[in-house]
């Protein structure tokens, strides 16, 4: 089973790539080829032109900025998984990356590919929504920045125009000083090469990690595959903010996540089951984030392995 024929282009700069996009309206961008390759092998996509971004070195980087970390679109899962900077500043991202498929796929797949594909079950879309990232988008004519909350519009439908490419994601670090922050990316997945059934991306910042009862100053929760876009659940965040984490607050998190979730049925998980998992994984993931943010012993049922 081979892809249908196409013209292959190998630009080496972003400008060359965007010029090619402008020239060929029906072109697809080729990133890690771990999803597009499969879609094309099944002839579900038959683009006439493929623009390979693997030789655009300027798109592969992890860079510390003043109050953020920027990740280039062609940064591979393996790089994100092993980045010391991300492990220190935004540990949700390495944890999300290391759970994607197996190592051979992580050697090829990229951040930009995942965001471009915009499958609501994807790991990075949910993580970036939880972390309030901004996408840097480029075309031959302009550069613009789009908050991820505006980028994901509907199922695999985004704000990206035909002639644009994603250059990078900029992720704020100032809300989350590492010494009093915990993050978690928890997913339920039946097999390595499948999309997760539901995932919960969470972050928690406390006032004082050494206090007897550290107070949650800020919480984040985004769910993957619980709706047609990655789903931020602000009601759940509000339920835990302003107090020390309690079983009651976690119960409220689960209820808010359950109420917000509106997933489609799929072959191995009907909608009802996914809603239930959304609530439970929201609860567990937030408990794990709180546990990681604090230096106290917590006894919430919060599995941190996967």
> Contact at 8 Å (CB) between 143 and 130?
no
Helix axes 247-260, 271-293, angle to 10 degrees: 140
Work out whether 7 is an interface residue with another protein (CB under 8 A).
yes
Give me the least distance between CB of 65 and another protein, in Å please: 28
Residue keyed to tokens 């644009």: 164
Stretch that binds another protein, among 6-14, 88-96, 130-138, 295-303 (CB under 8 A): 6-14
The interface mask with another protein, positions 90-109, x = CB under 8 A, is: -----------xxxxx-xx-
Residue 192 found at the interface with another protein (CB under 8 A): yes
Regarding 78 and contact with another protein (CB under 8 A), the answer is yes
Does 37 bind another protein (CB under 8 A)? Our answer is: yes
- Nearest 5°: the CA angle 23, 25, 29 is 90
Extended beta strands in 74-142, E state: 134-138
**4 binding another protein? (CB under 8 A):** yes
Left if phi > 0, otherwise alpha if psi is -120 to 50, otherwise beta: which for 9?
A: beta
Let me know: does 226 contact 257? Beta carbons within 8 Å.
Answer: yes
Asked if residue 1 binds another protein (CB under 8 A), the reply is yes
150 binds another protein (CB under 8 A): no
Measured distance CA(93)–CA(107) in Å, rounded? 16
Nearer to another protein, 54 or 87 (CB): 54
Q: Which residues bind another protein (CB under 8 A)?
A: 1-8, 10, 30, 33-34, 37-38, 40-42, 50, 52, 54, 78, 101-105, 107-108, 191-193
């Amino acid at each position: 089973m081979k892809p249908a024929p196409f013209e292959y282009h190998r630009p080496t700069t972003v400008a060359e790539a965007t010029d090619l996009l402008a020239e060929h309206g029906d072109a697809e961008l080729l990133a890690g080829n771990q999803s597009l390759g499969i879609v094309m092998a099944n002839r579900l996509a038959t683009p006439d032109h493929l623009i390979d971004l693997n030789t655009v070195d300027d798109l592969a980087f992890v860079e510390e900025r003043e109050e953020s970390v920027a990740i280039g679109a062609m940064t591979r899962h393996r790089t994100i998984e092993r980045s010391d900077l991300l492990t220190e500043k935004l540990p949700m991202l390495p944890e999300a990356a290391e759970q994607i498929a197996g190592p051979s796929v992580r050697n090829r797949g990229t951040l930009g590919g995942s965001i471009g594909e915009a499958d609501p079950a994807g790991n990075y879309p949910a993580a970036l929504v939880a972390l309030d990232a901004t996408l840097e988008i480029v075309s031959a004519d302009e550069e613009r920045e789009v908050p991820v909350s505006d980028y994901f519009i509907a199922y695999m439908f985004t704000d990206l125009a035909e002639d644009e490419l994603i250059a990078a994601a900029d992720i704020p670090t100032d809300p989350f000083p590492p010494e009093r922050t915990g993050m978690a990316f928890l997913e339920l997945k039946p097999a390595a090469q499948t999309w997760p059934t539901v995932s919960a991306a969470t972050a928690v910042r406390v006032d004082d990690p050494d206090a007897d009862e550290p107070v949650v100053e800020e919480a984040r929760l985004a769910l993957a595959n619980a709706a047609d876009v990655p789903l931020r659940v602000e009601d759940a965040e509000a339920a835990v903010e302003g107090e020390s984490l309690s079983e009651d607050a976690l119960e409220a998190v689960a209820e808010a996540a359950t109420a917000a979730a509106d997933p489609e049925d799929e072959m191995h998980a009907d909608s009802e089951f996914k809603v239930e998992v959304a609530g439970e994984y929201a609860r567990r993931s937030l408990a794990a984030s709180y546990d990681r943010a604090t230096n106290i012993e917590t006894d919430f049922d919060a599995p941190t392995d996967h």
